[in-house]
């Protein structure tokens, strides 16, 4: 099943404001949904399941059939055990229309999500992982392509999207350096249903990123994005100025001890002290309100439709 028409009708433009650790909070999610795009946030942005229930209450009250839907993001490997069980219980109560899973096997949560009528999208970076997720029964795939903020993949969307579409007729979401409405339209031309924009939404008034982070997005260029496994232990994109600001030599970063085991001084942590951005940073030069950004993306999208 591709993207249901009943959902597409509620969107001004086929976009998800992607979930971002320490960046996406209720204000950004609500502004996104009320502007006509899918808002999302990682459950791990809440310190506890009680906080998660609070955010869900707030978002649920401000969204509904009259707005675009919202999505909850669960990092399966990071959220093992009690926290995942408790957060899934809360989801069962609020019935989010989308759950986006990442890092781990989605199979154990697929039936639960379907039971409340939700759709499950799973993050993948390669064809092999796309096939595994399809076997697990997901409704859609987020193809995290080269140049994406966070844990960007190694493959160009020009190669990946069409190949995945050739064997999968479910929902295809495409991520990686998308900052304009024109690029959103390109996703559809390739056979994708939705574009996934992360970095672009860090530089909005509603994002939880601190001002220095937002301002760095205005000056940093595409050439300044460093793809390295040194910061989080797996390959991800970070801003060069952010690496140098904490005293690291961006061209000589220490090798990690293993996946998710970076070898940095203890006080330096990925996402918090070292800031991520995707290659689309070179197209960002303002910090608008989300509603204004969505209006602009819609104009750009319509111009090339
Ligand atoms: C600062 C930052 C934090 C992120 N945190 C998460 C996260 O917690 N969970 C997740 O699934 N993806 C996370 N991502 C990836 C985004 O959801 C999305 O795939 C990516 O930002 C899209 O690429 P773009 O930034 O080039 O638009 C993060 C990305 C950034 C830039």
Which two three-digit tokens encode residue 84?
Answer: 């995942």
Q: Which atom of ligand 1 is nearest to the CA of 100?
A: 11
Q: What spacing in Å lies between the alpha carbon of 52 and ligand 1's midpoint?
A: 19
Q: What spacing in Å lies between the alpha carbon of 199 and ligand 1's midpoint?
A: 7
Q: Which atom of ligand 1 is nearest to the CA of 178?
A: 27
pLDDT score at 80: 63
* Ligand 1 atom 29 nearest Cα: 150
Per residue of the chain (305 residues), what is the pLDDT tens digit? 789 999 999 999 999 999 999 999 999 999 999 999 999 999 999 999 999 999 999 999 999 999 999 999 998 876 668 899 999 999 999 999 999 999 889 999 999 999 999 999 999 999 999 999 999 999 999 999 999 999 999 999 999 999 999 999 999 999 999 999 999 999 999 999 999 999 999 999 999 999 999 999 999 999 999 999 999 999 999 999 999 999 999 999 999 999 999 999 989 989 999 999 999 999 999 999 999 999 999 999 999 99
Domain ranges of the chain: 5-208+284-303, 221-276
Pocket test for ligand 1, best of 17, 20, 120 (most atoms within 8 A of CB): 20
Residue burial 136-165, b: 16+ Cβ < 10 Å; e: rest: bebbbbbbbbbbbbbbbbebebeebbeebb
Which CATH architecture fits 5-208+284-303? Alpha-Beta Barrel (3.20)
Q: What spacing in Å lies between the alpha carbon of 168 and ligand 1's midpoint?
A: 23
Q: What spacing in Å lies between the alpha carbon of 77 and ligand 1's midpoint?
A: 16
Q: Which atom of ligand 1 is nearest to the CA of 277?
A: 31
Q: Which atom of ligand 1 is nearest to the CA of 42?
A: 8
Please say whether the beta carbons of 152 and 278 come within 8 A. yes
pLDDT score at 2: 87
Note if the pTM is more than 0.95: yes
Q: Which residues line ligand 1 (CB under 6 A)?
A: 18-21, 23, 42, 73, 75, 102, 123, 144, 147-150, 175-178, 196-200, 271, 276-278, 280
The strands making up 119-124's β-sheet, listed across from edge to edge, are 15-17, 194-197, 171-175, 140-144, 119-124, 98-102, 70-75, 39-42
Q: Phi and psi of 253, rounded to 5°?
A: -85, 145
Q: Give the other-Cβ count within 10 Å of 261's Cβ.
A: 10
Q: What spacing in Å lies between the alpha carbon of 82 and ligand 1's midpoint?
A: 24
* Ligand 1 atom 15 nearest Cα: 150
Residues 6+ apart with CB under 8 A from 47: none
């Amino acid at each position: 099943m591709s993207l249901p028409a009943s959902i597409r009708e509620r969107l001004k433009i086929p976009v998800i404001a992607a979930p971002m650790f320490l960046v996406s909070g209720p204000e950004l999610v609500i502004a996104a949904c009320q502007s006509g795009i899918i808002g999302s946030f990682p459950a791990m942005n809440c310190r506890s399941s009680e906080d998660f229930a609070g955010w869900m209450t707030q978002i649920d009250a401000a969204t509904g059939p009259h707005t675009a839907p919202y999505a909850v993001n669960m990092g399966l490997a990071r959220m093992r055990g009690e926290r995942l069980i408790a957060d899934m219980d809360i989801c069962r109560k609020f019935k989010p229309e989308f759950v986006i899973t990442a890092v781990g096997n989605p199979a154990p949560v697929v039936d639960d999500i379907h039971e409340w009528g939700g759709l499950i999208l799973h993050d993948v970076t390669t064809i092999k992982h796309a096939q595994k997720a399809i076997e697990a029964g997901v409704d859609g795939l987020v193809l995290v392509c080269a140049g994406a903020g966070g844990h960007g993949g190694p493959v160009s969307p020009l190669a990946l999207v069409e190949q995945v579409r050739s064997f999968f007729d479910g929902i295809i979401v495409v991520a990686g350096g998308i900052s304009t409405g024109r690029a959103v339209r390109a996703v559809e031309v390739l056979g994708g249903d939705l574009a996934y924009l992360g970095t672009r939404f860090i530089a909005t008034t509603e994002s939880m990123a601190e001002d220095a982070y937002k301002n760095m997005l205005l000056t940093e260029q595409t050439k300044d994005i460093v793809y390295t496994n040194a910061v989080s232990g797996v390959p991800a994109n970070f801003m060069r100025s952010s690496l140098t600001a904490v005293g690291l030599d961006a061209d000589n970063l220490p090798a990690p001890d293993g996946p998710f085991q970076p070898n940095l001084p203890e006080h330096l942590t990925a996402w918090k002290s070292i800031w991520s951005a995707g290659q689309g940073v070179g197209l960002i030069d303002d910090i608008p309100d989300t509603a204004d950004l969505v209006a602009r993306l819609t104009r750009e999208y319509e111009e090339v439709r």
